[in-house]
Structure 1
């Protein structure tokens, strides 16, 4: 037994030496795929050292007062200690391998790694000096305290990585009181969108655990996107990556959130959809949206317009509320524990007048009633006037007219009234001048004339009239045109396909890499043929709108195939694809640089030599590359092209020094095109040098960058 214990002890000692060395050089480590599998077993193995270390402490305390242990007791305690040391070291090594995968960074990862290393060293040290520890009370207390303390702190950081900040101590921590805001104060992003992200997304996409290199804790990080690009695009199918992943079947690997995690509700999905569709604004107030806006209708029901008002009437029976609730009439308290109720009606096709009559049993407890887009008419207002506690009434886009307005004078507590999209005019609103409690009326889309509005503001000085957005002097930007062409590699001449969803928008474009403008650049018309390597840049213009951003796309065409090709420097072992053949297989890589369609170079430049059996007329040479700043893949520091008819006497045909990014951006394909006067060439050489030091703004500042290439095109 002692023989095997010595072997295990020496293995664990060597394992700790290896662990310390790997921690010192981890920024230079690249894990092969089979070791990544081993690393992903960390969550499985980590429970063993936790249990074993706790068993060791309990065992040693139980036998603390006995100075002379039996041989069996001594062997049991020693075996527990050695097993704890072995499994702690194994779990720490696996955890280090797992942390090298993309998405694990931040202070929590750092503390968790070094905490695991400390526990591994401590458990082995305890085994080595177990007998002196048993004889000394002070040593025993120190060893137990260090073990328990380090175990709790390390486990806490692990829980933070997996489940989010303060997961372990949350039940006993003093929680900040949740701030409740009224509808008037609610911000679209801060109080509607961000809470959804915090509950359903940020546990996997934070600075400590950024799955897919996506961080959602801040607005800037959210808009930057992850390794697969930006999260949304209003010109893309289903509005981009985020909505596509959210709507995948739950069993799909790429469905978000992953199976087993809390899923988004249909209401939350709709809120995100309408927020993205409307432009993903992060600064606007919810109240600034029109009452008929889908996002407003979905989100406003979560906020009370009554502020901190205290209601003293008795609450309705829960059984009664359940009986009255159905799919198209939702009754809920305005706040947790409040007796005041808000009622929302949905789907006009299913609305029946008796649904309103059925509310008579709770009419004195209703403070908010939303009948927007329901077939409500003037006679219904007579019954609505009996809701004597009503503070907020939304009858937008209903059939009410001036004739029915007088009935609302019975609502002596009414504060907010939405009449948007109705046939009500100034005459009808004047009938409400006796309502001293009225604070705001929404009149967008009504028959209220400018003169009526001026008169009403004088007659009802305590009422704010919301007339909607008046954007006569504000120019909203157009979305960029859509480039519909599917293939990037041109075999035969193909028509350029551009479109824009805005009717009347003018699309202008360039094919020479210059930025389109509204004067010199040609207007797009069907029939433009693409038949050479080029970059298409396009913008949209329309009177009364700001110019769109530029949309660009590279198209590649190759007429010449070299007879011999050789890479002077081998690609990195993880990104070798199919060797030099990868550059001439006419298969474009996507944004996933691990797909096997890219060649990656870091320590040495991409240096390619090629030759033709006979001198060949060449006028264009293009190398297609990837830029993904978050993955340390930058534009090359320089790209040089050489050519000639003697292998050892080549002349430089051109050099490109691409501008370097000033901040993180979404991944994208960039082609570097050399054009020159047609010349006969037998030998050519391409050199693309990686940036030697990443800039100061980059998380890997000072490190060497990568260069990735997927195709070469010669014309």
Structure 2
């Protein structure tokens, strides 16, 4: 119930002081909720148990409930002037909120006997007025939650049996994105851009909630833009609002996502920038677009799977396709164990129809953690590709990963693993590909890799390794391809290249 009153937005831009006070609405709105609920509970207690409750106490509570409900209406109106709310829901929310204030004032007038002096039978209106105000309070609170969080906020996790009894439509299937096994063949929008938008932007820009008139849940809606015009300009990322608002300081009121929400990572912004500069295509593969030196490492961190050529420039290389672990005979995986992993939102995919080797990916399970990693060794024979990038795992999980004796490819990018965890991987004799992008690995951790004879490729962008450490590793393992050479500052400079040119977004 973080929102109670939001009135229809005025087309003209409101003054800053109006929006300032409007932002107090979420604070004020909880006061009438508390006051009215207390008044209702005291009256129920008085009627059912015949307890003596001072009429003055209830009158005082009702007075402040009416005052705070009125203030919530006022501040809600100011907040709504900023726009970005679904009109029909906003209208219903408005009148329900006004009803709360009106019936709260009516209940107070009767309880205080002010109205009784004018109308002899006014006392008969007291309980109905209080009851109606409570019902409207719940209804308005529900719609306020819908306006803020989306129309399925309360029912999003409702069990199917309860949905059937309540007449709520079946739960929509969670959006699943096809994992990237070969970055060169990845569909740029569907497999790279769309997952970024869904994880950071679609919560506030969807069919049920389209702030600023913008929806980012489909190519058609993205092309349509928002209330002030196009959200992207194909070929010009620095002129595209989609990028400009992400580059604004986080304290800026126009920065997106808003402060307090999950922010886009620098690599996310880099990918969006590259996509727009390449014309913002919705039906192209990575191999169809030009890959520059700045975006190459970011793309490569998304997945390997074989040499990827783009404009004559190698983008990434993964394990050799003729690796022995990909052709060896292993027993079929237990379907019950596979189902257990899928319940953790992990993708479990066969590498081929002929073999039983599996890829397990946490692309849709960013909350995957050390405790859940204990389920992985149950498929120690079958798992050969494991993608745990951008999850909550740490060194503790690598003790379980070390039990996957046939593991050939391992993604640990942007996790909390350290040098300590790498020590546990020394026994993975078949490991050929290791992605450590964006981790806290140092030169000390690289020494742990020296004994892994089959390791062919390791990614080290945005780690704490030094050029000297990389040189020592290459000396120890001449055939190892060590891909690093781009610092965190280099990526930051790339994604912010247009920030000085970006004009302030329209209000």
- Give the TM-score normalised by structure 1: 0.38
Q: 1:111 to 1:591 in 2, by over 3 A?
A: same
Tell me the equivalent position of 1:164: 150
- TM-superposed CA distance for 1:104, in Å, is 3.0
CA distance in 2, matches of 1:295, 1:331: 28
Specify whether residues 172 and 145 from structure 1 end up closer, same or farther in structure 2 by C-alpha distance, changes over 3 A only: farther
How many Å separate the matches in 2 of 1:270 and 1:304?
29
Please name the residue that 2:312 is paired with: none
CA contact (8 A) 2:22 2:76 kept: yes
Q: Is the alpha carbon distance of 1:191 and 1:68 closer, same or farther for their aligned partners in structure 2, counting shifts above 3 Å?
A: same
Contact 2:407 2:428 in 1 (8 A): no
Tell me the residue number matched to 1:259.
Answer: 259
Report the counterpart of residue 81 of structure 2 in structure 1: 100
8 Å CA contact retained: 1:105, 1:207: no
3-state SS, counterpart of residue 362 of structure 1: coil
- Alignment match, 1:152: 138
Question: Which ranges of structure 2 fall in alignment gaps of 5 or more residues?
Answer: 161-170, 305-345, 352-356, 360-377, 414-421, 438-449, 460-500
1:30 Cα offset (Å): 8.7
- Cα 1:27/1:237, change in 2 over 3 Å: closer
* Deviation of the 1:245 alpha carbon: 2.9
Contact 1:188 1:282 in 2 (8 A): yes
What CA deviation, in whole Å up to 9, does each residue of 1:167-193 have, x standing for no partner? Answer: 344454556554464547975434432
The equivalent of 2:443 in structure 1 is none
Distance 2:198 2:287 in 1: 22
1:44 offset after TM fit, Å?
2.9
**Structure 2 equivalent of residue 192 of structure 1:** 192
Deviation, 1:145, is 5.9
Instruction: Please say if 1:306 is aligned against 2:329.
Output: no
Structure 2 counterpart of 1:362 = 428
Structure 1 residue matching 2:350: 3-state secondary structure: coil
Q: Is the 8 A contact 1:67 1:135 kept in 2?
A: no
2:145 aligned with 1:78, yes or no?
A: no
- The equivalent position to 2:300 in structure 1, one of 288, 297, 302, is 297
> 2: distance between equivalents of 1:205 and 1:243?
15
Q: For residues 326-380 of structure 1, what are the alpha-carbon distances to aligned partners after superposition, in whole Å with 9 as ceiling and x for unaligned?
A: xxxx9997xxx9996742599xxxxxxxxx999551245x5976799xxxxxxx9
- Is 1:50 paired with 2:33? yes
Following superposition, the deviation at residue 228 of structure 1 comes to 5.6
User: What count of residue pairs does the alignment treat as equivalent?
Assistant: 344
What pairs up with 1:574-653 in 2 under 5 angstroms? 592=506
1:241 maps onto 2:241 in alignment: yes
Shift of the alpha carbon at 1:116?
Answer: 0.8
Question: Deviations 1:294-346 (Å, cap 9, x if unpaired)?
Answer: 67534347987636948722799x9xx95699xxxx9997xxx9996742599
Correspondence 1:112 to 2:98: no
Once the 2 structures are TM-superposed, how far is the Cα of residue 383 of structure 1 from its aligned partner?
A: 4.6
Which structure is higher in strand share?
1
Q: Measured at CA, do residues 240 and 31 of structure 1 come closer, stay the same or move farther in structure 2, by a change above 3 Å?
A: closer
Secondary structure at the aligned position of 1:166 is classed as: coil
Q: Which structure is larger by alpha-carbon Rg, 1 or 2? A: 1
| Per-residue deviation, residues 668-706 of structure 1 (Å, max 9, x unmatched) | xxxxxxxxxxxxxxxxxxxxxxxxxxxxxxxxxxxxxxx
Aligned position for 1:220 = 220
Q: How far apart in 2 are the matches of 1:139 and 1:286?
A: 68
CA pair 98-196 structure 1, distance change in 2 beyond 3 A = same
Structure-1 residue corresponding to 2:108: 127
- Relative distance call for 1:331 and 1:257 in structure 2 (3 A) is farther
Task: Determine which structure has the larger helix proportion and give its number.
Answer: 2
For 2:283 and 2:149, locate their aligned partners in 1 and report how far apart those are by CA, in whole Å.
29
3-state SS of paired residue (1:343):
strand
In 1: Cα distance, 2:63 partner to 2:349 partner: 64
Deviations 1:242-262 (A, max 9, x none): 333323333444432232221
Distance in 1 (CA, whole Å) between partners of 2:406 and 2:157 is 28
Find the aligned partners of 1:105 and 1:96 in 2 and give their Cα distance: 14
Q: Deviations over 1:264-299 (max 9, x none)?
A: 123323332332233322234679889996675343
Q: Are the counterparts in 2 of residues 82 and 127 from structure 1 also a CA contact under 8 Å?
A: yes
Counterpart-to-counterpart distance in 2, 1:332 and 1:284: 38
Change (3 A) 1:28 1:361: closer
User: In the superposition, relative to structure 1, how do residues 194 and 126 fare at CA in structure 2: closer, same or farther (>3 Å)?
Assistant: farther
Report deviation, 1:109: 1.8
**C-alpha distance in structure 2 between counterparts of 1:249 and 1:590, whole Å:** 11
Does 2:24 correspond to 1:41? yes
CA distance in 2, matches of 1:45, 1:269: 36
Pair 1:61-2:44 in alignment: yes
Q: Is the 8 A contact 2:21 2:75 kept in 1?
A: yes
Contact 1:274 1:295 in 2 (8 A): no
Higher mean alpha-carbon deviation, 54-63 vs 295-304, is at: 295-304
Counterparts of 1:163 and 1:361, CA distance in 2: 47
Equivalent residue for 1:412?
A: none
Superposed, 1:7-46 pairs within 5 Å as 35-46=18-29
Structure with bigger RCO (C-alpha 8 Å, 6+ apart):
2
Q: Closer, same or farther in 2 for the Cα pair 1:283/1:165, shift >3 Å? A: farther
Indicate how the Cα distance of structure 1 residues 212 and 196 shifts in structure 2: closer, same or farther if over 3 A, else same: same
Q: Secondary structure at the match of 2:84?
A: coil
1:27 Cα deviation after fit: 7.0
Paired residue secondary structure (1:103)? coil
Q: Which residue of 1 aligns with 2:416?
A: none
Structure 2 distance, partners of 1:221, 1:101, is 21
CA deviation after TM superposition for structure 1 residue 124, in Å: 2.8
Cα separation, 2, equivalents of 1:223 and 1:41: 34
Cα separation, 2, equivalents of 1:128 and 1:230: 52
> Which residue does the alignment assign to 2:202?
202
